[in-house]
Structure 1
């Protein structure tokens, strides 16, 4: 391959994150109820394969050719059954890159018109509820530190790396947060996104 061919491959190329196989986008949706900001959450349906019964923000996979922003709006509209013109994006929170080859692009926005009865997509969502923003501002989440490490397969070529089987593979820490609001337990990716949002509000 000659010089111009190599340059053409990388000139104006947008960077990505190595190893990411799944790209999702979510919306942290705020709504004003009786002049008080509240966060909207959904309980995931028992019918879906990924994390059934858990609490999440609306969101999902970014489709080919779709922007992460548009994906957040589309998924929120589809899951909560509201019109896209009722959704305003205010900004973007920090990217969440997981140890599981997945990236989540979180946005913060406002739901302008809250229907009396959500026309939710029952295949994906079983319940919708709100929590006052002030709860998260005042409440420190429970935090647990989980260790993340590399487990080489049995046929890993240790003979090709310095130190062989004694090679010092790096270890990492993965924080897990829990917010408990009444009977609702909000944890996992959703709690990490909330924590990031609250930290940036401070």
Structure 2
């Protein structure tokens, strides 16, 4: 096949294929008031789930086409906790946090009213609460993690400089956790909590 400059110019003037946008997510931090004290509701993810089974999480998930982040957070909470529309009262936006891969996660806080412990067994193994005061007095510990952009095994390593020792790109990321919690709260859930506490204490929400 032979191309002339005009052929290339014409080809590049056509609209390129749309960039596939990484799916963003939204999370809701539910607060329950009992006898004047506030508690945060957590979920243990169902063990049958393919992604992060058994992890401690907050209600949330991917933002669907046509949804706002807030709509997605409220929908996910209603689906996972089997809630009626009037049970959630928005308190405000916590901020945007980043997942390990750089995915944007929009986070919101809401009061959860008249909750009787319901949840969807398909998504949630159990629910439990911890007092907000705990997270105001126990700060998260932070550990360093990394992703390496390493090809799959049938990659032709013998044809690149350095072979299997080639210095592939490494992405650093932060892994927060609350060591005094049982079960352990870590990862994205700890990141949202850390962001929330910083907002309450007058700090800014990180990207």
What stretches of structure 1 of length at least 5 have no aligned partner?
10-17
The equivalent of 1:22 in structure 2 is 23
**Hey, what's the Cα distance between the residues in 1 that align with 2:138 and 2:171?**
27
1:129 Cα deviation (Å)?
0.7
The equivalent of 2:56 in structure 1 is 55
How many residues end up aligned between the 2 structures? 183
TM-score (norm 2): 0.75
The equivalent of 1:175 in structure 2 is 174
Q: Secondary structure of 2:24's partner? A: strand
**Hey, what's the Cα distance between the residues in 2 that align with 1:137 and 1:20?**
36
The equivalent of 1:127 in structure 2 is 126
Residues 40, 129 of structure 1: 8 Å contact kept:
yes
Q: Secondary structure of 1:146's partner? A: strand
Q: Are 2:66 and 1:84 aligned?
A: no
| CA 1:104–1:32: 2 relative to 1, 3 Å | same
Residues 42, 128 of structure 1: 8 Å contact kept:
yes
1:194 Cα deviation (Å)?
0.6
Q: Are 2:45 and 1:44 aligned?
A: yes
The equivalent of 1:12 in structure 2 is none
**Hey, what's the Cα distance between the residues in 2 that align with 1:171 and 1:95?**
23
The equivalent of 1:114 in structure 2 is 114
**Hey, what's the Cα distance between the residues in 2 that align with 1:190 and 1:120?**
18
Residues 42, 56 of structure 2: 8 Å contact kept:
yes
Q: Are 2:184 and 1:192 aligned?
A: no
Residues 20, 103 of structure 1: 8 Å contact kept:
no
String of CA shifts for 1:147-177, please: whole Å, max 9, x gaps. 3454467469x99xxxx87x98765431111
Q: Secondary structure of 1:89's partner? A: strand
TM-score (norm 1): 0.77
The equivalent of 2:76 in structure 1 is 75
1:100 Cα deviation (Å)?
2.7
| CA 1:19–1:38: 2 relative to 1, 3 Å | farther
Residues 20, 101 of structure 1: 8 Å contact kept:
no
The equivalent of 1:14 in structure 2 is none
1:91 Cα deviation (Å)?
1.8
Q: Secondary structure of 2:192's partner? A: helix
1:72 Cα deviation (Å)?
0.8
Residues 37, 132 of structure 1: 8 Å contact kept:
yes
The equivalent of 1:104 in structure 2 is 105
**Hey, what's the Cα distance between the residues in 1 that align with 2:53 and 2:150?**
28
| CA 1:197–1:171: 2 relative to 1, 3 Å | same
| CA 1:188–1:83: 2 relative to 1, 3 Å | same
